């Protein structure tokens, strides 16, 4: 990997000093890195995830470093759980909706239960969190949603996942219009990332290595992205550096959707 990408995440600043950030999907590869990067830039971070064990491991990591991090186990697809979580907060300056689950199946092979589960986390969850936390977002606040490049190009076999991520792009534009001018809302669309998610999806696939290689070749850069390459982009959009940017869809997919 290009060392510049690694250094970009490690360059700590103070853009979020005095600010409170909520990161949904904090226990995932991207969410965990977002939490650490925000903490490095002096934010107070509240991480939420349905994976309580992984969240506790993250809390232990940050506690040993003496950083202002707290973790709550929250099922973001559950309206009651999200409402209860919102009541624990006084103010939110940054909300990053990075929670997501992946599913690969055709329309014919997707059950109603699977459809509801994927849209429940990837789309309903972002809606519920944004709705619940909107009253706590003050002037200059920012929401960053994490979608996917499949939202822009679709593709056979990605029925519920593609639709959920495309819905998140549309939801971002609606939220940007409704929360302006006090709050900016943008969405990031990464391409395939070399994280636990695709490896778990393909864990029992006999052609796992071939599939991963094909994903890499679909990029103009000839490789998969890395979670740490998406972090600086999310933090830029969440910061005052992006004060004129709202309602935007920012693609970081190595050129996959530009072919």
Give the model confidence (pLDDT) of 31-61 as tens digits: 999 999 999 999 999 999 999 999 999 999 9
pLDDT at 25 over 90: yes
pLDDT at 112 over 70: yes
Close Cβ partners of 14 (under 8 Å, ≥ 6 residues apart): 41, 42
Residue ranges per structural domain of the chain: 3-190+225-252, 193-224
Under the banding of pLDDT at 50, 70 and 90, the label for residue 211 is low
Q: Does 161 qualify as catalytic in the annotation?
A: yes
Closest alpha carbon to 28 in 48, 6, 8: 48
Whole-Å CA distances, 114 to 96, 153, 155, 164: 24, 21, 18, 12
The CATH classification number of 3-190+225-252 equals: 3.40.50.720
Lowest mean pLDDT among 4-8, 71-75, 116-120, 251-255: 4-8
Given the residues 24, 161, 168, 235, the one annotated as active site: 161
> Exposure of 121 by Cβ count < 10 A (0-12 exposed, 13-18 middle, 19+ buried)?
buried
pLDDT at 98 over 60: yes
Per-residue pLDDT averaged across 4-19, rounded? 68
pLDDT at 210 over 70: no
pLDDT at 96 over 60: yes
Between 104 and 166, residue with greater pLDDT: 166
Between 199 and 225, residue with greater pLDDT: 225
Lowest mean pLDDT among 24-33, 167-176, 177-186, 195-204: 195-204
Report the predicted TM-score, pTM, of the whole model to 2 decimal places: 0.89
Phi, psi of 202 (to 5 degrees): -100, 15
Instruction: Give tens-digit pLDDT for 128-165.
Output: 999 999 999 999 999 999 999 989 987 788 899 999 99
DSSP conformation letters of the chain = --HHHHHHHH----TTTT-EEEEETTTSHHHHHHHHHHHHTT-EEEEEES-HHHHHHHHHHHHHTT--EEEEE--TT-HHHHHHHHTT-S-EEEEEE-------B-TTT--HHHHHHHHIIIIIHHHHHHHHHGGGEEEEEEEEEE--THHHH--TTBHHHHHHHHHHHHHHHHHHHHHTTTEEEEEEEE--BSSHHHHHHTTT-TTHHHHHHHHHHTSTTSS-B-HHHHHHHHHHHHSGGGTT--S-EEEESTTGGG-
Alpha carbon of residue 244 to chain centroid: 21
Calpha distance 99→31 (Å, rounded)? 8
């Amino acid at each position: 990997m290009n060392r510049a990408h690694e250094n970009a995440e490690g360059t700590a600043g103070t853009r979020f000093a005095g600010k409170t950030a909520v990161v949904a999907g904090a226990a995932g590869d991207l969410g965990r890195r977002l939490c650490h990067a925000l903490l490095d830039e002096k934010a107070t971070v509240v991480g939420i995830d349905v994976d309580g064990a992984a969240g506790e491991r993250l809390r232990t990591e940050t506690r040993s470093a003496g950083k202002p991090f707290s973790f709550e186990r929250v099922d973001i697809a559950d309206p009651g759980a999200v409402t209860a979580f919102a009541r624990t907060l006084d103010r939110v300056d940054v909300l990053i909706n990075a929670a997501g689950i992946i599913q690969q199946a055709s329309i014919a092979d997707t059950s109603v239960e699977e459809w509801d589960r994927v849209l429940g986390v990837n789309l309903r969850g972002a809606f519920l969190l944004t709705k619940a936390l909107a009253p706590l977002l003050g002037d200059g606040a920012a929401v960053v949603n994490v979608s996917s490049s499949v939202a822009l190009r679709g593709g056979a076999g990605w029925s519920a996942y593609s639709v959920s991520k495309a819905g998140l792009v549309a939801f971002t534009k609606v939220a940007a219009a409704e929360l302006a001018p006090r709050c900016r809302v943008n969405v990031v669309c990464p391409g395939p990332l070399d994280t636990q998610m695709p490896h778990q999806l393909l864990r029992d696939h006999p052609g796992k290595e071939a599939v991963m290689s094909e994903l890499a070749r679909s990029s103009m850069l000839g490789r998969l992205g890395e979670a740490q390459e998406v972090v600086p982009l999310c933090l830029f959009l969440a910061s005052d550096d992006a004060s004129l940017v709202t309602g935007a869809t920012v693609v970081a997919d190595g050129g996959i959707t530009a072919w």
